[in-house]
Amino acid sequence: MIPIAKPTIGKEEEKAVIKIIRSGKLVQGEKVEEFEKKIASYCGTKFAIATDNGTSALIVALTSVGVGLGDEVITTPLSFIATTNAIVFTGAKPVFVDIDPDTFNIDPGKIERAITSKTRAILPVHLYGLMADMESINKIAKKHNLLLVEDSAQAHGAEIRGKRAGSWGLAGCFSFYPSKNMTTSEGGMITTNSKQVAEACKLIRNQGMGNQYQYKRIGYNFRMTNIEAAIGVEQLKKLERMNKARAKNAIYLNKKFENTKGVGTPQVPKNYRHAYHQYTLKIDDNYSLSRDQLLTKLRKNGVDARVYYPKLLSDEPFFKQYDRRELNIAKSIHRQILSLPIHPSLTRQDLDKIVEVVNET
């Protein structure tokens, strides 16, 4: 089976982990601080705060900027459930806004009509590795004095006009789950240019503790370990190379599918850099099979294709109580999307196998 995702782990990571284990300094420490500094430098922010996973990063970031009980947070219905879970965990209410049919990201043109007196923040998701329209969203946030937090969990190295994901909002949140463009096994990171937000994040992730056993606020145990950070430092060194491999694979697949009727390849706006966390097709009625039939065919032929995501967050039973607005585009698109393997470990033979199954009539 050609896997949908595969972490690129080598001897460098193994050596780094062994060194930490032998040192006996396993939990949060110097290696975490080193990783934070390197991520901040890479993203172009002043600060980075490591967490134990991407969901924690979202919860900590939203809490640190002041989102709380009674607030409304505008977001997309097409994302991993962590996006909405984090909003609800703060006591706020998610407000779902429809998506753009080409980028699959939240549609800035529909955000303003969802703003109410209770709206506190906008939480755009850079889905599949393509950044949301942050230039337009930033203007809306400033116009209405709203907080802006990026869900950059899938967008390591993605850019708009050379400005990287995680550096556009008051805070950005990353995940380092094994399927991501870089991994620490589990792990997350918050990026920000605000010293106040950074200090709040550090407290919240560490039980609210400043100096040892001196507590300044309520917090959690959301700390990253030195072991995870050691992996992250080595992974970050490889990220650009791995992202270029993903882009090369995407270009190859785009070419092979350009004349395939009913198959839409990823659309990348001008001056955007797609990180290709996922390579997601749009299968319309002109294709010879339905999306689900193609999914079954791919799996039967040894290609681990996936649907991200089979259900809109707004349709989950525990989120139906929240404001969903009109989500006609999202409701249509989520029945058409299909993700194919795109990771750096794919061989030309793997890519040709994928193409053969999709293009075979």
pLDDT of amino acid 323: 66
> pLDDT of 300-357, one tens digit each?
999 999 999 999 999 999 888 886 678 999 999 999 999 999 999 999 999 999 999 9
Residue 297 annotated as catalytic: no
Does residue 202 sit in the same domain as residue 332? no
Clarify whether residues 153 and 256 are in a common domain.
no
Contacts with 253 (C-beta within 8 Å, 6 or more apart), sequence order: 265, 279, 340, 342, 351, 354, 355
pLDDT in the model for residue 324: 64
* 4 part of a folded domain: no
Q: Minimal CA–CA distance to 152: which of 70, 72, 48?
A: 48
Interior angle at CA 54, CA 52 and CA 56, nearest 5? 60
Residues whose CB is less than 8 angstroms from the CB of residue 289 and which lie 6 or more positions away in sequence, other chains included: 283, 297
Pairing of strands 147-151, 119-123: parallel
Q: Are 273 and 159 in contact (CB under 8 A)?
A: yes
Going by C-alpha positions, the residue among 168, 107, 175, 83 that lies closest to residue 134 is 168
Q: Which residues of the chain have pLDDT under 70?
A: 323-324
pLDDT of residue 150: 99
State which H helix or E strand residue 337 sits in: strand 337-340
Q: Computed over its alpha carbons, how large is the radius of gyration of the chain?
A: 20
Residue 84: name the closest of 308, 322, 306 by CA. 322
The last residue of a domain, from among 235, 269, 302: 235
Q: Are residues 162 and 264 in the same domain?
A: no
Enumerate residues 6+ apart whose C-beta is below 8 A from 156.
Answer: 129, 165, 174, 180, 181, 182, 239, 243, 275, 277
The pLDDT, as a whole number, for residue 170 is 99
One domain, residues 344 and 221: no
- The domain boundary, picked from 235, 252, 273, lies at 235
Do 149 and 78 fall within a single domain? Answer: yes
| One domain for residues 171 and 254 | no
Q: Which of 180, 202, 282, 353 is catalytic?
A: 180
Query: How many Å apart are CA 153 and CA 11, to the nearest integer?
Result: 25
* Per-residue pLDDT, 212: 86
Name the domain boundary from 202, 235, 268. 235
Residues 210 and 256 in one domain: no
pLDDT value at residue 318: 87
Which residue is it, tokens 């995407």? 250
- Given this model, what pLDDT does residue 152 score? 99
Domain count, the chain: 2
Q: Please tell me the predicted confidence (pLDDT) of residue 113.
A: 95
By C-alpha distance, which of 77, 90, 98 is closest to 200?
90
